[in-house]
Amino acid sequence: MHPDIILLFYRRYEQDSTSQSRRKPLSDVKDLHSDANMPDPEIIHHPEGLRDFVGGTFLPTMGALHEGHLSLIRAAAGHEGPVLTSIFVNPTQFAPGEDFDAYPRGLDRDAALAGEAGCDAIYAPSAATMYPEGPAAAIAAAAAFPLPPVAVEPGLEDADRPRFFGGVCLIVDRLLRHARPARAMFGEKDWQQLQVIDAMVASDPELSGIAILPGPVIRDPDGLAMSSRNTRIPKSERDRALGITRGLQVAHAAQHPTTAESMMRETLEAHDLEIGYAVVRNPVTLLPVRDFTEPTRALVAAVLHWDGGSVRLIDNRAMTVWR
């Protein structure tokens, strides 16, 4: 077990113990919005406070909310029952060298935006609340979490980020047990994660009654898929980041999966992006496909490097069915 991630985890424990007492009232951030009379969502830090929000719609997030998250909250508000959003930057899904400490945080801003979109309550637990066993044991629990085949067989996020899905499944499992919703919503931008969560929930008798609902990818005007990490991209590097979007676009001209994959890789390389993967797969199993006679999904992951920084970006699109 890598000591660096445990050190970061302990640091988050210490920060969580004091940050809640320093938080500004939501009224201090209302100038982010034109509606001065927007409702303030209740902020809850412990699972005991969630009793009044059982049976509604739940949206797990790591905060740094953007229009993609807010579109899910607005969709959730159309369902029966309360809307609950969690904000928790989950340390067990980050590997050493990833951006756990750099991940953007801002509960006051996020709560105000969520409230305006129709969220009734924010669940913002501490690391100690979610992982009472302590950092080392939590990381071990994430590594030992039983994963469905779609989390270990495709060679996509599971290969690029081997620790990722154990941490994701562990935290989502615990959040769902705390929240006890009728349904939970996840964005399609993290396509493999969506399939993993759907499979995990379906296989657990205690969770299988929860409906997992997808929300479409929301894009900036230039086409880049919205992500909390986009705020770190310098303006001078934005066009290179769009290589991911353009790669998915050109792939639609292909009439065979291997051709589409070659076209995506060539586009990513032309934008000087470090390729994680650029593939066409079955949309549910995420295993390789032979042709486009059935629904398929193109998926891309790449790292944008610049002087002084880097960011890893992912995206995906449904491919045309050719019959």
Residues involved in catalysis: 69
| Amino acid, res. 124 | A
Structure tokens that stand for 271 in this block: 């934008």
| Rounded Cα distance, 289 and 159, in Å | 19
DSSP 3-state of 88: coil
CB 69 within 8 A of CB 61: yes
| Rounded Cα distance, 194 and 316, in Å | 12
With the CA atoms of 132, 134, 140 and 144 taken in that order, what torsion angle do they form, in degrees rounded to the nearest 10? 0
- H-helix or E-strand spanning residue 270: helix 257-270
| Rounded Cα distance, 51 and 42, in Å | 13
| Rounded Cα distance, 118 and 9, in Å | 32
Structure tokens that stand for 104 in this block: 């953007």
| Amino acid, res. 5 | I
